[in-house]
Amino acid sequence: MTEDRGAQRLVELLADHEDDFVTQWVATVGESLSGRLSNAELERELRDLYAALRSGLASGALASREDGFAEIRSLLVELSRNRARQGFTPTETAISVFALKQVLEPSLTGSAKDIRAYLQLSRLLDELGLLTAEAYARTREEIISSQADQLLELSTPVVKLWDGVVAVPLVGTLDSARTQVVMERLLQALIDYNSTQAIIDITGVPAVDTQVAQHLLKTVVAARMMGADCVISGIRPQIAQTIVALGIEFGDIPTKGTLADALRHALDTIERDKRLAENRGSLL
C-alpha cells in the first residue's frame, strides 16, 4: 500500500460527505466560540478551508509543508491573524482545525484502509493546527510591539515652546530604549523648528540614577555638537538629593527648578546671542 491510496481514500471521503462534514464542523467550532463569530462568517471560512484541504489532498500531498497545501496554509495564517486581533484565545483558534477530526471520526469504518487514512489526516491536521498557533503567536507579538511603539510615541512628545525653543517633558521611567527615542526626536526637532535652545523637563521622572543621568548628558552633548544648548528643568528636591548623593556631575549644563525658569533662561540666551551677533556692516 502506498500513501497515495490513503490520500485517495481521504479525497473520496471528503467529497462524499462534504455538506454533512462542513455543517457539523461549523456547529462544533461555533459552539466553542460561543457565538462571538457569526455563523455565516464561520461557515464561509470553514468552507474555504475545506475546499483548500480537498484540493491539497487531491494533488497527492500529505504533509502540510507541501506545495499542494500552500492555499490552506495561507488561509489558516489569515484566519489565525484575525482570531488573534479579535481577541480569541490560541485554543479557540486551533480548534477550527482540530474539530475536523472529531467530525470525521464517526463516518469511518473499521477497515485498515480507513484507519490509515484517518491517521494520515490526523497528522496533517496536527501540523496545520500548530501552524495556526505559530501564526497566532506571531500576530500577538506584532500587536504588542506596535503597542509598545505607540506608547513610546505618546510618552515622548517634543513641542515647540517659543520661536527657537523646543521642549520635551519626560514622564515616567527612563530606560535606554526610551532615552534613545527622546534623543533622536529632540535632535530632529532642533532642525525642524530651527531651534538653538532645547529644554528637557524631568518633573515627571520618578527617579534619576547614574544611567539616566548618563543618557541625559549624552543628549546634551549631541545637541551641542549640532549647535544648540540644552537646559534641564523640573529637578525636584528629592532628585536633587539623589544627584548629589550619587555624585553625578551635570557639568556646565544649566539646570532650572521649573519649566518657566528654563524658558526664561532660553529666551534670555537667544536675546543675548542676537545682540552680540548684530551685523556691523561686513559679513562679520
Partner 1 sequence: MTDRVPVLQIGDVLLVSIQVDLEDRTVLDLQDDLSKRIVDTGARGVVIDISALEIVDSFVGRMLATVAAISRVLGAETVVVGMRPAVAITLVELGLTLGGVRTALNLEAGLAALRRAVHTERPDRA
Binding residues vs partner 1 (CB under 8 A) = 183-184, 187-188, 190-191, 194-196, 218, 221-228, 273-274, 276-280, 282-284
* Interatomic CA distance for residues 76 and 26, integer angstroms: 15
Q: How far is the CB of 227 from partner 1 (least distance, A)?
A: 4
Neighbours of 152 (CB within 10 A): 15
Q: Beta-carbon neighbour count of residue 71 at 10 Å?
A: 16
Strand partners, 167: 159, 199
Joined together, the cell numbers standing for residue 273 give 546671542
User: In terms of CB distance, is 38 or 214 closer to partner 1?
Assistant: 214
Neighbours of 271 (CB within 10 A): 10
Minimum CB distance to partner 1 smaller for 64 or for 195: 195
The Cα–Cα gap between 114 and 105 comes to 10
| Smallest gap from residue 188 Cβ to partner 1 (A) | 5
Strands 159-162 and 197-204: unpaired
DSSP secondary structure, 166-182, as one string: EEEEEES---HHHHHHH
Nearer to partner 1, 147 or 194 (CB): 194
232 touches 266 (CB < 8 A): no
User: Of 206, 211, 127, which is closest to residue 176 (Cα–Cα)?
Assistant: 211
In the bound state with partner 1, the residue whose beta carbon lies nearer, of 143 and 221, is 221
Q: How far is the C-alpha of 231 from the C-alpha of 254, rounded, in Å?
A: 5
Q: How far apart are CA 132 and CA 73, in angstroms?
A: 9
Work out how close the CB of 195 gets to partner 1 at its nearest, in angstroms, rounded to a whole number: 8
How far apart are CB 263 and partner 1 at their closest, in Å?
19
Looking at the Cβ atoms of 142 and 249, the one nearer to partner 1 is: 249
CB of 142 to partner 1, least distance (A): 26
Residue 43: CB partners within 8 Å, gap ≥ 6?
22, 26
Q: Find where cell 474539530 sits.
A: 99
Please state the closest distance from residue 218 (CB atom) to partner 1, in A.
Answer: 5
Least gap, CB of 85 to partner 1 (angstroms): 34
Pick the closer one to partner 1 by CB: 137 or 191: 191
Query: Residue 237: exposed, middle, or buried by beta-carbon count in 10 A (0-12, 13-18, 19+)?
Result: exposed
Of 85 and 218, CB closest to partner 1: 218
In angstroms, what is the minimal distance from the CB of 163 to partner 1?
Answer: 13
Return the number of the residue (18 or 184) whose C-beta is nearest partner 1.
184
